[in-house]
Amino acid sequence: MNEVAHLRTPLTVEDIEPLRSGNPVTITGIVYSARDAAHRKLFELIESGDALPIPIEGQVLYYVGPSPAPPGRVIGAAGPTTSYRMDPYTPRLLEFGLKGMIGKGKRSSEVKEAMTKYKAVYLAAVGGAGALMARAVKEAHVVAYPELGPEAIRKLKVERLPAIVVNDMHGNDLYIEGRKKYRL
């Protein structure tokens, strides 16, 4: 079993260079929630040359649309959404310095190539474990696009948010390696 890497945001190339697909990690610090509607808006701002509502360089985006917070909690269930819906927008965000993404499922070849080129990682969180993931969120505030409801961009303060490296900055892919390992 691999030793858990404890990451603090914002991330640097030096933070993610030692990571390899299959490594378990925890993330502490600020991450931003963003799903496909928010990605489309960020992409449009980049394409028009306008300023983004959140910092991108060194940041981690969590593909989550949390449920409403129950009494006494800062956030409701906060499980990952399927990542491929963000793929059309991701290479441009990586070009602007995005260093990490958290979601579930495979990424396109274009996104994997951009992660290698711009030195970033894709992390998977366990789907169906939204209540567990929410425990790592200590603060949550909408910072952009409140009209998107659950898909608004939120600034999340997290402590030891668990994930697994799927795509490292060296071009490795856990989904491909896992199939090879167990092929008969």
> Can you tell me the distance from the alpha carbon of 132 to that of 152, in angstroms, rounded to the nearest whole number?
21
Residue 50 has what DSSP assignment? Answer: P
Q: What is the pLDDT of residue 132?
A: 86
pLDDT along the chain (184 residues), means of 10: 89 97 97 96 96 97 93 93 96 97 96 98 88 93 96 97 97 87 68
Kindly tell me the sign of the dihedral angle through the C-alpha atoms of 127, 165, 105, 67: positive
**Is 39 in the active site?**
yes
Q: What is the pLDDT of residue 184?
A: 55
State pTM to two decimals. 0.94
In the set 6, 39, 141, 170, the catalytic residue is 39
CATH of 5-182, one of 3.40.50.1110, 3.40.50.300, 3.20.130.10, 3.50.50.60: 3.20.130.10
First vs last C-alpha separation in the chain:
22
